[in-house]
Amino acid sequence: MPIAIGLVCFGLGYFIAPSNTASEPIVIESNNDQTGNHFIQNFQQHIPVQSENNIELQQQLKNQMTQVNAVIDQATSKQMDQYLQQAFSGYDLSAIRNKHEFAKHLVGEFVDAKNKPDEPMSGRATVMAHQEYGGENVLPRDIYKGQQLFAHFDTLGKTPSNEQVFVRWSNQTTGEVLFFMPQRVSAQREKNWVSFSPVAGWKPGHYDVKYYQMNDQLEPIAQTSFYIQNVIQ
Amino acid sequence: MNMKKIVMALTVMTSAVLTACGGGSSGSFNSSFEKEFTFGTQTYICRSEKAANACGGASQDCSACDLKTPSTNVITAVCAEPIANTHKVTTAGCVLKLTNDTQTGICTSEGLRLLSGSNLTKEQLNKGALFTSGSLKITLANNVTETITCN
């Protein structure tokens, strides 16, 4: 699922595990599927994965970053591979050498989901209402509620070509992450795009988009902000 | 709680959350992954991941892809209006005579694409707005709703 990134799950796991075991001691045997399944079924219904809870989840994780990072450090390489493969199934994670490092950067970028204007970027990005780059570069202030918006980015040849990038769309006003996932692009081109529209539709406000390389440090490529003044229902 | 136990719980919880994550969607998305497909004598260039997936999939739906040799056929057919104020857009593309303006639309594997104006080709519609839901409702000043739909 786009919004709930795999590494958030690390944080969720951390929060849920101690709160549960405090009230009901459960012996978890990692090699016992039945116990695991039972455990999952018990808690699946309590796990907040809806977008309206994202901001709360981000805040909780932010307040517990030291512990979350400690949990990441404690995970074995095998576990880490497994989590990431599950979270980002269908994507090639082989270029990520240090998955613990990658995980920490992911959580960091998830909890602090506003663009930092002073952060140096090697490329540039802009959001447009259509797929073709160029022409009218200005995003209309009136956007249809269910319209796809296209975040174009240009590496300017300054980042290694890669068929995958990581992208984050967030609400600048609330800081809420709307979309945070790897995406496939054309490696032979410097200009690419990722389009998005929220399931509940656009709302008036300021939004941020940020692109990252799929590497250990999740190095930023480009970022941009845009404003929707009016939403056509 | 000791760290070992947390990590153990984490293993299970991660799976749980991921399972839950897989059940829903927070929105619609696509990206500029480009791929070419040749079927018989026709070569298609798919300029998005969803278009490529549909064209390369079992259904071979290349409706969202461009022909390598682009057609110059202008879309002239007028969209049907089977019910008052409901306009049905086709996969070949058609012209919508709406109350306030004229638009040209096409339905593809990516959704409904609309661009203001007429005398447009399919390729020109790539400059239009995309609605992955496949429909759009426009509320007019008199509270009448016009529906443009692929369905």
Domain-embedded: residue B12? no
Is residue A54 over pLDDT 90? no
Which positions 51-110 of B are in contact with A (Cβ < 8 Å)? none
Q: How far apart are CA B142 and CA B135, in angstroms?
A: 21
Domain-embedded: residue B134? yes
Q: How far apart are CA A202 and CA A114, in angstroms?
A: 18
Beta-carbon count within 10 A of A109 CB: 20
Same domain, B99 and B116: yes
Is residue A131 over pLDDT 70? yes
Q: How far apart are CA A111 and CA A176, in angstroms?
A: 9
In the structure, what pLDDT confidence band is assigned to residue A46 with cuts at 50, 70 and 90? Answer: very low
Name the minimum distance, in Å, from the CA of B78 to any CA of chain A.
23
Domain-embedded: residue B132? yes
Same domain, B95 and B140: yes
Which amino acid is located at A98 in the chain? N
A196 part of contact set with chain B, CB < 8 Å: yes
pLDDT on residue A41: 34
Q: Using a CB-CB distance cutoff of 8 angstroms, which residues of chain A are in contact with residue B28?
A: 148, 196-197, 199
Q: List Cα–Cα distances, A165 to A9, A38, A103, A196, in angstroms.
A: 21, 36, 15, 15
Q: Using a CB-CB distance cutoff of 8 angstroms, which residues of chain B are in contact with residue A211?
A: none
Q: Which of B51, B69, B87 is the last residue of a domain?
A: B69
Model pLDDT for residues A75-86, shown as the tens digit of each residue: 889 888 888 888
B2 part of contact set with chain A, CB < 8 Å: no
pLDDT on residue B133: 94
Domain range enclosing B47: 31-69
Model pLDDT for residues B67-123, shown as the tens digit of each residue: 988 778 899 999 999 999 999 999 999 999 999 899 999 999 999 999 999 999 998
Name the minimum distance, in Å, from the CA of B103 to any CA of chain A.
15
Same domain, B85 and B133: yes
Q: What is the mean pLDDT of residues A143-168?
A: 95
Q: Classify domain A124-232 by CATH architecture.
A: Sandwich (2.60)
Of A8, A79, A197, the CB nearest to B132: A197
Handedness of CA A133, A135, A139, A140 (dihedral sign): negative
Q: Do A28 and B10 touch (CB under 8 A)?
A: no
A23 part of contact set with chain B, CB < 8 Å: no
Q: How far apart are CA B92 and CA B124, in angstroms?
A: 13
A199 part of contact set with chain B, CB < 8 Å: yes
Same domain, B93 and B106: yes
Q: Do A6 and B14 touch (CB under 8 A)?
A: yes
Q: Using a CB-CB distance cutoff of 8 angstroms, which residues of chain A are in contact with residue B21?
A: 1, 4, 9, 49, 87
Name the minimum distance, in Å, from the CA of A124 to any CA of chain B.
16
Q: How far apart are CA A188 and CA A79, in angstroms?
A: 33
Q: Which of B39, B69, B99 is the last residue of a domain?
A: B69
Angle at B78 between CA B76 and CA B80, to 5 degrees: 155
**DSSP letter string over A162-198?**
-SEEEEEEEETTT--EEEEEEEE--TT-SEEEEEEEE
A231 part of contact set with chain B, CB < 8 Å: no
Same domain, B122 and B99: yes
The answer to whether B48 touches A131, Cβ cutoff 8 Å, is yes
A202: three-class secondary structure by DSSP: coil
Q: How far apart are CA B84 and CA A200, in angstroms?
A: 28
Same domain, B79 and B39: no
Give the bridge partners for A205, in sequence order: A228
Model pLDDT for residues B38-65, shown as the tens digit of each residue: 999 999 999 999 999 999 999 999 999 9
Same domain, B78 and B129: yes
Same domain, B80 and B118: yes
Domain-embedded: residue B91? yes
- Number of A/B CB contacts below 8 angstroms equals 188
DSSP H stretches of helix in chain B: 3-21, 49-56
Q: In what order do the strands lie in the sheet with B35-39?
A: B35-39, B42-46, B66-67
Q: Do B21 and A1 touch (CB under 8 A)?
A: yes
The answer to whether B112 touches B105, Cβ cutoff 8 Å, is yes
Q: Do A144 and B129 touch (CB under 8 A)?
A: yes
Same domain, B64 and B116: no
Q: Using a CB-CB distance cutoff of 8 angstroms, which residues of chain B are in contact with residue A83?
A: 14, 18
In chain A, % of residues over pLDDT 70? 76
Q: How far apart are CA A21 and CA A73, in angstroms?
A: 21
Same domain, B83 and B135: yes
Beta-carbon count within 10 A of A199 CB: 15
Which amino acid is located at A17 in the chain? A
Domain-embedded: residue B139? yes
Helix axes A77-87, A6-23, angle to 10 degrees: 110
- Residue A82 CB partners (closer than 8 Å, separation 6+): none
Model pLDDT for residues A72-125, shown as the tens digit of each residue: 888 889 888 888 888 888 899 988 999 999 999 998 999 899 999 999 999 999
Domain-embedded: residue B103? yes
Same domain, B65 and B80: no
DSSP H stretches of helix in B2-148: 3-21, 49-56
Q: Which of B48, B69, B90 is the last residue of a domain?
A: B69
The answer to whether A18 touches B5, Cβ cutoff 8 Å, is no
Name the minimum distance, in Å, from the CA of B43 to any CA of chain A.
18
- Residue A24 CB partners (closer than 8 Å, separation 6+): none
Domain-embedded: residue B18? no
B18 part of contact set with chain A, CB < 8 Å: yes
Model pTM? Answer: 0.81
Of B5, B29, B129, the CB nearest to A147: B129
Of B1, B18, B23, the CB nearest to A9: B18
- Using left for φ > 0, alpha for ψ between -120 and 50, and beta otherwise, residue B18 falls in alpha
Angle at A202 between CA A110 and CA A51, to 5 degrees: 40
Is residue A132 over pLDDT 90? no
A192 part of contact set with chain B, CB < 8 Å: yes
Same domain, B87 and B51: no
Model pLDDT for residues A173-191, shown as the tens digit of each residue: 999 999 999 999 999 999 9
pLDDT on residue A138: 77
* 3-state class percentages of chain A: helix first, strand second, coil last, to nearest 5: 35, 25, 40
Of B12, B25, B137, the CB nearest to A39: B12
The long-range contacts involving B95-100, CB below 8 angstroms and separated by at least 24 positions, are B96/B148, B98/B138, B98/B146, B98/B148, B99/B140, B99/B144, B99/B146, B100/B140
Q: Do B33 and A186 touch (CB under 8 A)?
A: yes
Structural domains counted in chain B: 2
Domain-embedded: residue B5? no
Beta-carbon count within 10 A of B6 CB: 20
Q: Where are the domains of chain A?
A: 6-111, 124-232
